[in-house]
Amino acid sequence: MDCEGLRNKIEVKRREMYQAYLIDQNYTNALIKSQELDAMLNKFRRLCQKPFIIAMSVLML
């Protein structure tokens, strides 16, 4: 999966989490969505931000 696709999925999951928490007030579902979102954000950091940080460090030298 590419970074842009993952970013879009993260945004959808974030909306689902807020929907469950704020509107539906289904806190169990909100917790599940939050854990799924956390896993997706960790994957994004691992796959998409690491190359960016390496590229920036090379440019700074």
Question: Residue 5 pLDDT more than 60?
Answer: yes
Tell me the pLDDT tens digit for each residue of 10-35.
999 999 999 999 999 999 999 999 99
- How much is the pTM? 0.75
Percent of the chain past pLDDT 70, that is, above it, reads 79
The pLDDT, as a whole number, for residue 15 is 96
Question: Residue 60 pLDDT more than 80?
Answer: no
Q: What is the distance between the alpha carbons of residues 29 and 22, in angstroms, rounded to a whole number?
A: 11
